[in-house]
Amino acid sequence: MFIHKKRHRSGAYSIEVLRKDRCSRKNVTVKIIGTSSNAQELLALERKAREFIDSQLGQPIPMDYHYPFEDDFERFLSGISNTQIQVIGPELYMDVFTTR
């Protein structure tokens, strides 16, 4: 879900909460929070929209971004120097087109 600020011909803006439909890939209006032309009221409406989205989605799931293999991988990379690396991708790619 996301917040959309829609401008009307009158110059006022409406704050809407939208979601992307998975099948049609179109934006679907979930809720219209309100309409105003005052900047302070628009900020308050955006805050209400954010609170609505948070209440619909619930509490975010805490993520642990430390992977067990990360330390081993960093230790492996620290032991490699540039002289030990050999680039073979372009040569293999060019050989495919030159052998035809």
pTM for this entry: 0.55
pLDDT for 63 equals 60
Tokens describing residue 39? 């900047």
Whole-number Å distance between alpha carbons of 59 and 67: 23
pLDDT for 94 equals 65
Tokens describing residue 56? 């619909």
Q: State pLDDT tens for residues 26-50.
A: 999 999 999 999 999 999 999 999 9
Give the mean model confidence (pLDDT) for residues 82-89.
Answer: 76
CB atoms within 10 A of CB 33: 21
